[in-house]
Structure 1
Amino acid sequence: MPGRRGDPVIERLPLRPLIVEAAARLAEAGVGSPMPDAESLAAHLLGTERMRLALIPMVEPEIADRYRALIEQRAARIPLQHLTGTAAMGEIDLAVGPGVFVPRPETELLFAWALAYLATLPRDHAPIVVDLCTGSGALALAIAHARPDAEVHAVELDADAFTWARRNADTRIAAGDTPVTLHAADVTDPALLTPLTGRVDLVVANPPYIPEAAILDPEVADHDPHRALFGGPDGLDVIRAMVAPLARLLRPAGATAIEHDDTNGGGVAAILAAADFVDIAEHPDLAGKPRFVVARRRGL
Structure 2
Amino acid sequence: MTTRRAVLAGAVERLRAAGVPSPEHDAAELLAHVLGTERGRLVLVDAVDPAALPSYDALVARRAAREPLQHLTGRAWFRHVELAVGPGVFVPRPETELLAGWAVEQAGLVAEPVVVDLCTGSGAVAASVAHEVPTARVHAVELDPAAHAWAERNLAGTRVDLRLGDMATELEELAGTVDVVVCNPPYVPLEAWESVAPEARDHDPHLALFSGDDGLDALRVLERRAALLLRPGGVVGAEHADVQGASAPEVLSATGRWSEVRDHHDLAGRARFVTARLAR
Same fold (TM over 0.5): yes
Structure 1 vs Structure 2 CA RMSD = 1.1
| Alignment match, 2:133 | 147
Distance in 2, Cα, partners of 1:295 & 1:84: 37
Match of 1:9 in 2: none
1:225 equivalent among 200, 205, 212: 205
| Structure 1 position 79, deviation (Å) | 0.4
Instruction: Provide the rounded CA distance (Å) in 2 between the counterparts of 1:103 and 1:155.
Output: 16
In the other structure, the counterpart of 1:15 is: 4
Cα shift at 1:287 = 2.2
**1:75 paired residue number:** 64
Asked whether 1:33 is paired with 2:22, we answer: yes
Partner of 1:255: 235
Give distance in 2, aligned partners of 1:45 and 1:147. Answer: 35
Q: Counterparts of 1:188 and 1:210 in 2: how far apart (Å)?
A: 19
Aligned pairs for 1:39-188 within 5 A: 39-121=28-110, 123=111, 126-170=112-156, 173=157, 178-188=158-168
Residue 119 of structure 1 and its aligned partner are, at CA, apart by: 2.4
Q: What is the TM-score normalised by the length of structure 1?
A: 0.90
Say yes or no: does 1:236 pair with 2:225. no
- The unaligned stretches of length 5 or more in structure 1 are 1-11
Matched with 1:245 is 225
Q: Give the secondary structure class of the aligned counterpart of 1:213.
A: helix
Distance 2:265 2:180 in 1: 20
For the residue of structure 2 that corresponds to 1:258, the secondary structure is: strand
Q: TM-score, normalised by structure 2?
A: 0.96
Which residue number corresponds to residue 201 of structure 1?
179
Deviations 1:118-152 (A, max 9, x none): 2233x2xx110000000111110111111121100
Shift of 1:71: 0.6
**DSSP-derived class of the 1:114 partner:** helix
Moved more, 73-82 or 44-53: 44-53
Percent identity between matched residues is 51
1:205, CA displacement in angstroms? 0.2
Q: Out of 196-205 and 47-56, give the one that drifted further.
A: 47-56
Alignment of 1:286-297 (within 5 A): 286-297=267-278
Aligned residue for 1:263, secondary structure, equals helix
Larger Rg: 1
Say if 2:107 and 2:115, in contact at 8 Å, map to a contact too.
no
Q: 2:249 aligns with which of 256, 266, 269?
A: 269
Unaligned runs of 5+ in 2: none
